[in-house]
Amino acid sequence: MHSNVTIAALSLSLMLGACASNIHRNDADADPYENMNRKIFAFNDKVYENIYFPIARGYRKITSQDVRNRVSNFVDNIEEPITAANYVLQLKPKEAGISVARFAVNSTLGLAGTFDVATGWGLGLERTNANTTMASWCMADGPYVVVPFVGPGTARSFAGMVVDSAADPVYWTTYKDANIHDKATYGFAAVKYTDKINSLMDLYTGFKEDSVDLYATLRSAYLQNQRKLKCRFADESDETSHFDFDFDEDMED
Amino acid sequence: MKKLLAFAAAAIVGTFCLKAYAELDAGAAEKFIKDTTSEGVEQIINADVSQAEKDKRFHKLLNNALDLDFIGQFVLGRNWKTATPQQRDQFVTTYRDLNILNWSKRFNEFKGKNFVFKGTTPSTSKGQIFVNTVVPMDQGEPAKVLWRVREKNGTYKIVDIVIEGVSIAQASRSEYTAFIKNNPGGLDALIRDLKDKLKKAQTSK
């Protein structure tokens, strides 16, 4: 089941990606389904405000910052093998090695990953994912889409999300034991998404307060983040190329 | 005669090279950001003074450090060209005041943190350079913060801040362009909306 989903996701990404250029100078150009996306975005906003954020606020009420830090570390550690595998696929052995070492150190000395001991040893957290791996192999990002209950992404990033979930270590380490498989998979997913929503809630609320068009602001932030992902065959020397356009354009100085 | 011409040509080229170097003095740009961030963190965020005094100091610091007239023009994009002088004036004034308030708020998030300087990166735009910094966070990866610095008449000003690959100026430009395009009131409606936000931000302080 997992591998079928992965293949379908990759095919979808290739199909959609082939229709689009990797670099859209204008955010609106990357968003051919803007009307529909805006409607889903408005729906998602209601979901965040009425379901997700109350859960995150409840979580904050019953936990201290220290407990939340331990939970974040635990989630990061469980996902570390996915990071390591993606670094291997990106042909980055040094980063893959650091990731493996982090997993070994934090899983043991870090008490099942709840303490990030490895960072103190100079093995800092550097996350990566299947979306970045596909980008590194020059796969185009495809159109910008907003998915109900999930949020914004591109065809490639959603395909990446499916690939990463298919590699979920919790799934593969428990699938032989039917008694704990579902509990472990759903339990970890609940913890993981509560942690993610908790870390994103303030950022979203801040953007909402400051922006006159929240949809456009978040689209720009998301697409800028995608553009910084480099294709391994492109010129890597210019790290700032995705935001270093002609700043004097349209200016009367 | 040939030697004299070659010498003259070399002198002219040399003068241009010196000028280009003077325009992009990486050390001076980095020092400017070091001074600005240390003033912001040490003398304002971490200082034991009243909030009113902090606000006053922030206003002065950001007014001096950010080139808000330049940023204001940039974020309006093509709409700047079609705007009337009155609209331009109103937009820049409102944008300036609103941003000073918003940036004070953002700077506060760096309480107890420090900027680690990682050199500079050249920009393709004339007289500009990126100063690279990272901010170690309590949890997870350190945040990458790039400061786009513009030199004009020997003075350095910040024209953009790129946090984790997201340019604030570009995001604002995209936001305002979309607002003007989708709103029948156009630029006037944008100015009205920004004034409302400013009023709200001032009263909620």
- A63 at B interface, C-beta within 8 A: no
Distance CA A52, CA A149 (A): 9
So what's the pLDDT on residue B118?
A: 93
Q: B81, B92, B174, B188: best mutation site toward chain A, by most A Cβ within 10 Å?
A: B174
- Residues ≥6 apart with Cβ < 8 Å to A38: A146, A215
Q: What is the CA radius of gyration of chain B?
A: 20
Report chain A residues whose CB lies below 8 A from the CB of B204: none
User: Looking at CA atoms only, how far is residue B163 from chain A in angstroms?
Assistant: 10
Distance CA B200, CA B205 (A): 9
Does residue A242 contact residue A227 with C-beta atoms inside 8 Å?
A: yes
Distance CA A176, CA B192 (A): 61
Q: Which residues of chain B have pLDDT under 70?
A: 1-23, 139, 205
CA B120 to chain CA centroid, Å, is 16
Which B-chain residues 67-126 have CB contacts (< 8 A) with chain A?
A: 70, 73-74, 77-78, 80-81, 102, 121, 123-126
pLDDT tens-digit series, residues B88-100:
999 988 988 888 8
CB contact under 8 A, B70 and A251: yes
Distance CA A120, CA A115 (A): 10
CB contact under 8 A, B170 and A224: yes
Report chain B residues whose CB lies below 8 A from the CB of A73: 139
User: Looking at CA atoms only, how far is residue A101 from chain B in angstroms?
Assistant: 16
- B176 at A interface, C-beta within 8 A: yes
Residue B83: both structure tokens together: 């705007």
Number of continuous H segments (helices) and E segments (strands) in chain A: 11, 2
Report chain B residues whose CB lies below 8 A from the CB of A217: 171-172, 174-175
Does residue B175 contact residue B183 with C-beta atoms inside 8 Å?
A: no
Closest CA to A211 of B25, B102, B199: B102
So what's the pLDDT on residue A235?
A: 62
Closest CA to A187 of A110, A74, A45: A74
Residue of B nearest to A123 (CA): B141
Place of tokens 């650091």: A98
- A66 at B interface, C-beta within 8 A: no
Strand, coil or helix: B108: helix
- A228 at B interface, C-beta within 8 A: yes
Give average pLDDT by consecutive 10-residue segment, chain A, 253 residues: 47 41 63 94 95 92 89 88 92 91 86 83 85 91 93 93 85 78 83 88 88 93 88 65 59 51
Residue A242: both structure tokens together: 């995705």
So what's the pLDDT on residue A241?
A: 59
CB contact under 8 A, B162 and A27: no
- B166 at A interface, C-beta within 8 A: yes
